[in-house]
Structure 1
Amino acid sequence: MSNKKLLAGFACSALFLAACSQTATETIHDHLEQAAEIENEGFDTQQQPLVDAEERGTELYSQIVELDMDQFEEIVELADQAIETVNERRELISTEQESIEEGYSEFENAEASFEDLEDDELKVLAEEMQTAMDERHGSYQTLYTLYNEALDLDEQLYEMLKDEELDVDTLTGHIDTTNEKYEELQEATNNFNDHTTTYNDAKRAFYEASDLEVRFE
């Protein structure tokens, strides 16, 4: 079962170096960097625990398939432990999704100042940045949905393994379905990461064309 690996939020972070009266570009900068901070905090908090829970689930599954039906009680015990990792992942991905939504809401606050931009080039770059962010946000919704569907399939698998009368063909069919779902999830993850890169590039282009003095990390 593949791990879900995301870029660490907004990889392109900029430190605002100029301090004077608040212009439209400065207001936009403040909201964009606040959005980045919100997301980065969410990812930093959730990513490693997610990976750890996924790895524990994979290890438990490996232990289960090494056992035979004479060790059924141990199979049930391990399956219950694996279900606990599924529930843990549900909580973690939910918290991660909340940080995505909070960051997106903060980005929308920046949009309110786009119309105040006087430079035509900046307006075009701001529109490109908005499009990139909207597509990124949409790609995460797909990823989040697929991740939860994969979790449902994982839980169903572990419940099936607790059935002494489980039919092998039924189990094999479910495993195939689960693997297909994880393939979809990996594609969605790659898509989200690509959109994150596109957004970061668009944000950087906006900053570089503006009157802001920023330092990129």
Structure 2
Amino acid sequence: MKKIRKILAAVLVLMLMLTPVVSVSQPVTIQAAAKTTKTTLKKSGGRYYAYENGKKLRNTWRTIQSGKKKYTYYFGSNGAAYQASKEMMGRYGVIVKKIRGQYYGFDYLGHRVKGVRVGSTSTYGMPYVFYFNSNGTYNKKRTAQLRTASKTNKKAATIKKMLGKCRKYRISKNSCFMNGNGVDITYTYDTVELSVFRPKGKNYKYDVVESLVARY
């Protein structure tokens, strides 16, 4: 009996040795690393241009990192970024451009802006107040409200409320407004300056608007 068991065990081992081993391998997908396109911003002749892979960008938007901040530009048909003239509009004034059916404002550095700004649609155009949404698009309704509230001789409380808290203010006692019978007060905000007139003595009812201009 023991001899039979040994023979059966030997046969079993032999069968296992003769059985072919099937190897199942899973297909391996090798994903190529995504190609990173670096955008380079260059300044030439006072204008800003962007390049990718040595090619100048045209008729397109780009958001570019500068230090710890990112700024959005639009590069026109000649490759130059839309930007306001610092000499004509100062650091906070803007040039307003229509791009694909929407209006946007750009400062002298070519940065797309948001919030309250004073600017024009051409370098030598008449400056007006504008309001731009958080994504940079022109807000027609808000702009109309600001323009109405900032008209000369309007009650100043309305526009002051719309502009919010000012950074600082200064009082000038030598006013030429309304025969000079009062003082001028200039309120400085982030991007604009509001000048109001405060009549003296019994003539005082409320402050009135003189002007709303770009901050310099």
* TM, length-normalised to structure 2: 0.25
Greater C-alpha radius of gyration:
2
Tell me which of the two structures has the higher relative contact order, counting C-alpha pairs closer than 8 angstroms and 6 or more residues apart: 1
**Whose helix proportion is higher, 1 or 2?**
1
TM-score (normalizing by structure 1) = 0.25
